[in-house]
Structure 1
């Protein structure tokens, strides 16, 4: 199996489109940045796969951010997809974790999806309540509310891989045969076992699930771990603090240190670096 790929597929005789994502290297890269207990890790892997599915149609500069927010010990999980090709994710939690039940971990929570499809700054945000059955069902509710189209999602993750399967009924088809075909294909997808989703090749998995269908598997799209942090973004953030705050931080600490939570990249600005930054931006010398 080629890791870190997203496959599109179509059904010749049914108004259904499908996406299959399988992540290995990028998922390992996420885990290499932070330690995650197994319940947190598996849910973060599922969220990462979900973000990959949601970002499959993004333009080059587009971004989708998928967040799980709760008042339980697992306070935040976030994953994003940029340009349909790079993914990253992180989680914040506190001990003790209350078992492995998803509602016990998150408590009273919600799913927040922020979408900038073209990268032009026009953002759409959707918020849905957490479904009792887990993340996949919560994402299905999001699709139903945002696209008004039924969807079927299966997600899985372990310490090696993260994967997701998405089926969506296409618009413009409302006949009884179309509805029956959708119900049949969705029922087949529901038989997917986690280990199959994680470890079978796309050809093997789709053949096992939909062997009675005329299915066309399209070319694969590669994905990788990627972080959007940069010195330019950090410097813009520092300048946004204002001169007085920057001087206060320098006086207190002797330097300004910034860490990216997603990739653990460290940015350090001593007095000379901050002086150059302010002078280059035309704000005058630092006292």
Structure 2
């Protein structure tokens, strides 16, 4: 945790989440029944401290850091949050021409603007994706470079870092969904708990960092079959989108673009009114 500036523990009132698919909640629910995700779960922690919490989630899947900066920072500032989460960069490091310095400059611009506007900012580090998806091992050095720069940029602006990357449990397969890019429900739960602990919210603790019980490892044949299924089901479609210049977020907008009480989710009168202009 970055301790340059201690956040308040008397309750945040207005929380706005910026980011990509992880913050949108992919892997925790679905587009039919609704996505939950770590930011929604963190909002639940916050609401336990301050039941009057208002929460907005501007994250959209597929966005690189520059797109989060261009599309979400302005609307976030308009909402005048006293807490904001900024999490992006994974989509950048998976691109062929990744530039860690540029990516973190874009993140730092958001850190600076939000803290200057009076918000406390929290961010995350990226787990070693080479341990989660073996095919990603060639880009492990990018993860380490990105995390090191995030920590430095956060320190400059008093941003709280939930440094999940330094804990071995962060790469436990049970914390990741079948696509190996998005956290599972348990993973989102642990990320939210890590952020709550980094923010020193009442009732939070470090149990999120503890390892899961041991499990039996698959045999060599089972592991190979799983790799083939993953490549056909997830890697292939991802590569095709990259080849044709498409994104999983094309045509999508934020799931929660306005500050609302936590229980005002999809289908609620408040949300219906926002989408219909009522």
Normalised to the residue count of structure 2, the TM-score between the two structures is 0.28
Structure with greater proportional helix content:
2
Structure with greater proportional strand content:
1
